[in-house]
Amino acid sequence: MWIGLDDTDSTFAGGCTTYVAYLIISYLIKEGYVLIGYPRLVRLNPNIPWKTRGNGAVSFQIARRGREKFLVGMNYGKKIYGYRNIEEDCDNHGEIFSQVKKILEEEARLNDKNTNPGLVVSKKKIGYELYKKAVKGIVFLDEVTSLLDKNGALYIGYKNKRGLIGAAASIAWNPVFDKTYELITYRKKEKIGSKREIDDDSVKIMDETIKTTFDNYDYINKHNRIKPNSPCPVLYGIRGDDTEDLVKAMNIVKSEEFQGWIIFESNQATDEHLQKKEKIKDVKPFESVIVKGTVYKEPFTITGGHVIFSIQDAYNDTIDCAAYEPTKEFRNIIKKLRKGDIVEVYGGVREEPFTINLEKIKILNVAKIVEKIENPVCEKCGKHMKSVGKKQGFRCIRCGAKAKREKAKFTTIERNLSPGFYEVPVCARRHLSKPLKRIMKEA
């Protein structure tokens, strides 16, 4: 039996969907159910304007009995196990639905107008297609409700009910191509809302020691990325490729005592939101794309420190690309681009102004730029000749002698930019963006 939930949290009133799931899992285990596999934290299309904060939905599978258990977390000293196989599934989804609904209603921040929770309990797994659409494009509520009806699922959406989309799409996810994990620790109840006590130096040590983790610490911008900024119950979250390493990593981080922890399986850091577009004219708002092109309009900085340039594809269509101010030192790379450079850009598409918001860039070819430094000298008069016109030859204004354009002195401009992959810093990284650290490991 599958349970999915989304959008129970609030920017100002705290709460966190992963925490609600953690409480529901702990409750269901106490009631005699077992967790199958890891709970799953699934991020969806980061570009839709009405997205939920962080756009992360949670789902998990439960059963009556399972085989082959492994540790997935702790809650106040009590171990939480996941099971690899189902021995006996549960058939009482009505009962489970009403129990889970009660916890969700107690925990969700329904008073925040931007909090629109959704809960799905389904005997059947929801088809993968829904996830694919929800991570790359736009899914409408009525598509989801009719799909849930077809699956015989029980569900409830609160207020504008948008949380139902994420709840269902999270169940639909399967780690078909790639996956990562996140170990999340939760604060003791009495600590929630107060300043988090985490020793930054221990986070740096963890980051340097446990190589399968990523996005822990931004050394240039001095940003401890594992620590959230909102008043939510999360103490910290460590992302990585190996679950045992994540537990080791947790043991290195020095912090206040916490209520417990749990490991989520996730599509974070997989680039699954991106789709390759051969033509710029096929790029649509709210998508995330990979597009190859030649730098057409050279980078310039606008108010606020955002850097803009444009690329052109083989069909002569162009599109603006932006490295916004929060991408910090990434902008220094972007500023070095010149007309003729061949690049592949990775990023989310904004509707107004129509722009690709860069997450990564692959510089494929750095153009050779030759600049004229001196006009030719007239052999007869010994004076510099004048240019006849752009990209044309020269003429001496005294005697009228002519010279070809090649007679001038040229120099090749030092580009100080190498082909390769560049990404925004850890402090500006999106949940779904695959860090170069993971990309390089595959190569």
Q: Mask: binding to Zn ion, 113-132, rule CB under 5 A, as x and -? A: --------------------
* Least distance between Zn ion and beta carbon 384 (Å): 10
Residue from the set 78, 79, 372, 398 that interacts with Zn ion by CB under 5 A: 398
* Least distance between Zn ion and beta carbon 379 (Å): 8
Q: Which of 208, 193, 286 is nearest to 249 (CA)?
A: 208
Distance between CA atoms of 101 and 4, rounded to whole angstroms?
11
Tokens encoding 85? 């196989």
Buried/exposed code over 169-181 (b: 16+ C-beta within 10 A; e: otherwise): bbbbbeeeeebbb
* Stretch of 18-26, 266-274, 394-402, 435-443 lying at the interface with Zn ion (CB under 5 A): 394-402
381 touching Zn ion, by CB under 5 A = yes
C-beta separation of 172 from 82 below 8 A:
no
* Least distance between Zn ion and beta carbon 411 (Å): 25
Length of the chain (residues): 443
* Least distance between Zn ion and beta carbon 409 (Å): 18
Residue 429 backbone dihedrals phi, psi, to 5 degrees? -70, 135
Distance between CA atoms of 86 and 32, rounded to whole angstroms?
14
The residue with tokens 């529901």 is 24
- Within a 10 A sphere around the Cβ of 196, how many other Cβ atoms? 18
* Least distance between Zn ion and beta carbon 410 (Å): 21
C-beta separation of 192 from 228 below 8 A:
no
- What are the C-alpha distances in Å from 263 to residues 18, 73, 84? 10, 6, 15
Distance between CA atoms of 236 and 223, rounded to whole angstroms?
13
* Stretch of 55-63, 97-105, 297-305, 392-400 lying at the interface with Zn ion (CB under 5 A): 392-400
Q: Which is nearer to Zn ion, 276 or 386 (CB)?
A: 386
Q: Which is nearer to Zn ion, 346 or 394 (CB)?
A: 394
403 touching Zn ion, by CB under 5 A = no
Q: Which is nearer to Zn ion, 125 or 395 (CB)?
A: 395
402 touching Zn ion, by CB under 5 A = no
Residue 358 backbone dihedrals phi, psi, to 5 degrees? -65, 135
399 touching Zn ion, by CB under 5 A = yes
397 touching Zn ion, by CB under 5 A = no
Q: Which is nearer to Zn ion, 279 or 404 (CB)?
A: 404
Q: Which is nearer to Zn ion, 32 or 400 (CB)?
A: 400
The residues that bridge with 66 in the sheet, in sequence order, are 86
* Least distance between Zn ion and beta carbon 403 (Å): 10
Residue 155 backbone dihedrals phi, psi, to 5 degrees? -155, 160
Q: Binders of Zn ion: how many residues, by CB under 5 A?
A: 7
* Stretch of 149-157, 214-222, 298-306, 397-405 lying at the interface with Zn ion (CB under 5 A): 397-405
From start to end of 109-149, where are the E strands?
118-122
* Stretch of 56-64, 75-83, 189-197, 391-399 lying at the interface with Zn ion (CB under 5 A): 391-399
Q: Mask: binding to Zn ion, 349-378, rule CB under 5 A, as x and -? A: -----------------------------x
Residue from the set 281, 380, 404, 409 that interacts with Zn ion by CB under 5 A: 380
Q: Which helix (H) or strand (E) holds 320?
A: strand 318-323
* Least distance between Zn ion and beta carbon 386 (Å): 10
Q: Which helix (H) or strand (E) holds 184?
A: strand 180-187
The residues that bridge with 180 in the sheet, in sequence order, are 266
C-beta separation of 179 from 241 below 8 A:
no
The residue with tokens 């540790």 is 71
Residue from the set 311, 396, 408, 424 that interacts with Zn ion by CB under 5 A: 396
* Stretch of 182-190, 232-240, 302-310, 388-396 lying at the interface with Zn ion (CB under 5 A): 388-396
Q: Which is nearer to Zn ion, 369 or 377 (CB)?
A: 377
Q: Which is nearer to Zn ion, 78 or 386 (CB)?
A: 386
* Stretch of 210-218, 234-242, 245-253, 390-398 lying at the interface with Zn ion (CB under 5 A): 390-398
Q: Is 84 helix (H, G, I), strand (E, B) or coil?
A: strand
Q: Point out which residues bind Zn ion (CB under 5 A).
A: 378, 380-381, 396, 398-399, 401
